[in-house]
Chains A and B, each alone.
Chain A
Amino acid sequence: MGHRVLVCDDAIFMRTMISDILTGAGYEVVGEAESGVQAIARYKELRPDLVTMDIVMPDMGGIEAVREIVKADPDAKILMCSAMGQQALVVEAIQAGAKDFVVKPFQPSRVLEAVQRVLG
């Protein structure tokens, strides 16, 4: 336990919700980012064990951010957070190096399953 997580989403609502789910399960949210550019910077700075990444964000989207993060750290564990109907984007994110995905609206149990799979 005690894995360190970086939460990336442009909506405060979503960041809060994800953080609550994760902290409730014993994870430590060490940072948040609201854009792709910020996500990359925060990743390099914090070196978290896991990143949750929204796909559509201003100022560089999530997929691009995944690509850059994986380039910097091939072992990065990134969990994509997607909306329904973004299949092609999720596929692209996985090709870019994301390890798993969850689909909004989030069910806490599903999010935690995915987090465990990625960290496992």
Chain B
Amino acid sequence: MDVRQYADLFLSESREHLTAFNQLLLEWEKDPAATEPVSGIFRAVHTVKGMAATMGYAPVADLAHRVESLLDGVRRGERTVTPAMLELLFRSADGLERAITESVTGVDAATAVAPVLAELDAATAAPGTGPGAPLRESRPSVPVIVPGTGPGKGRTVRVVLRTDAVLKGARALLVLRKAETLGPLSAVTPAPAAFESDAFDGHFSFRLDAPTEAAAIVAALGRVGDVEKVEVGEETAEAPALAPDALRSRHIRVDLQRLDELMNLIGELVIARGRLHAIATRFAEPDLHDVNGQIARLAAQLQHEIVAARMVPVWQVFDRFPRMVRDLARQTGKQIAFRVEGKEIELDRAILDEIAEPLVHLLRNAVDHGIETADERTAQGKPAVGQLVLAAVRERSTVAVKVTDDGRGINREKVIGRARQMGLIDSEVAALGDEELFRLISKAGFSTAERVTDVSGRGVGIDVVATAMRALGGSMEVRSEEGEGTCFTLRLPATLAIVRALLAKVGDELYAMPLTHVAETFTPRAGDIQRVQGREAVLLRGDLLPLIRLRDLLGAAAPAVPGRGQPVIVLELGERRTGVVVDALVGQQEIVVKSFEAPRGTLPVFSGATILGDGVPALILDAGGLV
């Protein structure tokens, strides 16, 4: 059988186990006496080993096996955990990650794992680790999972244990041992690691690559005890692509591309529904209105379901950060307590993937430039251990992700100095509000870090993060207090692709404004608009609201129709507000966002385009670019 088709699945699943490996290592490091992390790591590594062996990735399986051996000694109390061993295990996790990536991309990972393999061997063989530490090589192994054995003849065997059987997992293992005497096994489902769990229900299957008669297989396995039923499939050359386990499981894995495609199709459906609606309003035909209403409801439900299917909890990305922060703290010699909050909050998979890199950047910044060394902190009367918090919070239709540290805060004097140097501000500016501060530090090439460090590197700044947020239809803000710390907030739409938007007209063109950032709309009287420092503004409930005329911004030739007051859309981004003056408001509608590659040189105010129900295109305005 060709196992390569399972490579993606292998990759994503192994990574989950590696994340668990890292998480548990961190727990273990905090409390070396704890035993749960050890067994957890053991299971994770064990599973990776089994999967890698099935895939034929020998270096991965080999490395996993040796980690297992080392842990086994600890589990048995033959070996005590030392900081050096933990370091080695952290390196092993990295080695596994690398070996997995290389193997999947078709590179032989043997060279990559060699150094850490040698270290593990040395550690396992190290003297003073207890008498008679048994060599793991002498240990009878778990039923051998033979890597893709090629197109030999074989059968799928399904076994059901008696429901009243006790310790079903152990019994299943005995069945496998028996089966092994008949021929090589592969595709054991569920993975043998599941047999150690009490949740194992006694149903399992495997492929037996041997020309044995079905009756002989049934008889041999039936003798193991507690076996209710043995089903032997037809002799085939290929193992079935779908493991029976996947059918029983309540979750299946779906390629993200499939979901994207489904989302696109539903997008088209929503558009078609809009057209149907537009047509239906032209006819007084009750049946047409009925079916139109029904289709609208169904499309809405379908859309809701697919959006929900794309949502994943943020821990899927956040869980890799504790390890990263730990390593960074070590490199920089700082003491940092890192906390992750709101792990269960869900985001669209695509958005979550996109914010991973920006978050890495913000966390690195916080460790490198934000949090001070223990000595500095103590000298300032702060606790020696710096606090770093990554939190996800649900805010109506958006999700806010905050990176907060209690470090030294952004040095405004330096920012002002650098901004003057770059000619970004007038020389008389002496103080900066948070918004102005953010505007400056998010300028390309703006960085006050004095030297290039291993951690933060050079060249990537807050501007990159800000740009990434805008591309996602989100926004970003900063609050910083010198000596107290810094908090970056990323505001993201919980889902992409379909958003509710306000449609506005300028001239004959339609523009869509995602409702996420629309606070309200109103129509000022002509006399209400005043000029303040060369800009138009209007008083709204006592506050001055700066105005932008979309018509001017777009360079539309024809002047606005005079007379009637023009409506203003109030955009809100964090605490910044701006009023956008348009010719007319058209209404609210769900729009399907089509990604938009703006040609260089065009206005940075559009984040995408959409096609409305009646087939008319509209550009989507990016609130981040306007406010």
Q: Which residues in A have some Cβ–Cβ distance to B below 8 Å?
A: 64, 67, 70-71, 82, 84-88, 90-91, 94-97, 99-101, 103, 113-114, 117, 120
Q: Is the CB–CB distance between A91 and B170 below 8 Å?
A: yes
Number of B positions contacting A (CB below 8 A)? 21
Q: Is the CB–CB distance between B167 and A82 below 8 Å?
A: yes
Given A101-B167, A103-B166, A103-B167: A91 and B225 interface contact (C-beta under 8 Å): no
Chain B contacts of A70 at CB under 8 A? Answer: 140
Q: List 12 interface pairs A-B (beta carbons < 8 Å), by A numbering.
A: A67-B134, A82-B167, A84-B166, A86-B167, A87-B198, A88-B196, A90-B167, A90-B169, A91-B173, A95-B173, A97-B140, A113-B225
With an 8 A cutoff between CB atoms, is B535 at the interface?
Answer: no
Query: Which of A96, A101, A114, A120 is within 8 Å of B139, CB to CB?
Result: A96
Chain A contacts of B223 at CB under 8 A? Answer: 117, 120
Chain B contacts of A103 at CB under 8 A? Answer: 166-167
Q: Mark B76-87, 1 if CB is under 8 A from A, else 0.
A: 100000000000
Q: Is the CB–CB distance between B140 and A96 below 8 Å?
A: yes
Query: Which of A64, A84, A94, A117 is within 8 Å of B173, CB to CB?
Result: A94
Chain A contacts of B141 at CB under 8 A? Answer: 95
With an 8 A cutoff between CB atoms, is B195 at the interface?
Answer: yes
Give the interface SS of chain B, mostly helix, strand, loop or mixed. loop
Give Cα distance in the complex from A100 to B174, angstroms.
7
Q: Mark B183-205, 1 if CB is under 8 A from A, else 0.
A: 00000000000011110000000
Give Cα distance in the complex from A82 to B170, angstroms.
11
Known: A84-B166, A87-B170, A99-B174. 8 other contacts (CB 8 A): A82-B170, A87-B167, A87-B169, A91-B196, A95-B141, A95-B142, A96-B139, A117-B224
Q: Mark B326-367, 1 if CB is under 8 A from A, else 0.
A: 000000000000000000000000000000000000000000
CB distance from A14 to the nearest CB of B (A): 17
Chain A contacts of B138 at CB under 8 A? Answer: 71
Q: Which residues in B have some Cβ–Cβ distance to A below 8 Å?
A: 76, 134, 138-142, 166-167, 169-170, 173-174, 177, 195-198, 223-225
Give Cα distance in the complex from A101 to B167, angstroms.
9
Chain B residue at minimal CB-CB distance from A101: B170
Chain A contacts of B225 at CB under 8 A? Answer: 100, 113-114, 117
Chain B contacts of A85 at CB under 8 A? Answer: 198
Chain A residue at minimal CB-CB distance from B172: A91
**Most chain B CB neighbours (cut-off 10 Å) among A85, A88, A94, A120:** A94
Chain A residue at minimal CB-CB distance from B166: A103
Chain B residue at minimal CB-CB distance from A85: B198
Q: Is the CB–CB distance between B134 and A91 below 8 Å?
A: no
Chain B contacts of A120 at CB under 8 A? Answer: 223
**Most chain B CB neighbours (cut-off 10 Å) among A64, A87, A100, A103:** A87
Chain A contacts of B197 at CB under 8 A? Answer: 87
Give Cα distance in the complex from A49 to B225, angstroms.
20
